Amino acid sequence: MARKKDELDDGRVIVNMDVDGMPWTKPSLFESAAGRFAREDIRKMREQRLAREDKGLASPLQEFSKQEIKQFTRNSVLAGLLIGVVYMLGLVLFILFCVYVWLR
């Protein structure tokens, strides 16, 4: 079932909603001179990485031992849990403040 076209809509633009500086109105980074230099830098970094791998040198991810990766993972999880505990503690204190001071 197709939608009926609104009879009052004649397709004219009353106000142009394009805003200068929005992502769809700015040119791409890679079309500018800075973007061309950035692409060259990316190519150089990729070539250096491939040369290292060809020589048998490990990529940065392979340079860590399993024990170090486990330690990094554990520390990241603990940091996230600490942030969660801080937020929960703040919520509990806010509720206690509301019950005993504000809404008394």
3-state DSSP helix/strand/coil percent for the chain, to nearest 5? 65, 0, 35
**Cα distance between residue 104 and residue 98, in whole Å:** 8
**CB 33 within 8 Å of CB 39:** no
**Cα distance between residue 77 and residue 71, in whole Å:** 10
Give the residue-averaged pLDDT of 84-97. Answer: 97
Give the residue-averaged pLDDT of 19-46. Answer: 70
DSSP 98: I
Q: Is the pLDDT of residue 99 over 80?
A: yes
- 10 pLDDT tier (thresholds 50, 70, 90): confident
**Cα distance between residue 50 and residue 56, in whole Å:** 10
State phi, psi for 18 to the nearest 5 degrees: -70, 130
Q: Is the pLDDT of residue 64 over 60?
A: yes
- 79 pLDDT tier (thresholds 50, 70, 90): very high
Enumerate the domain spans of the chain. 25-62, 64-104
Q: Is the pLDDT of residue 54 over 70?
A: yes
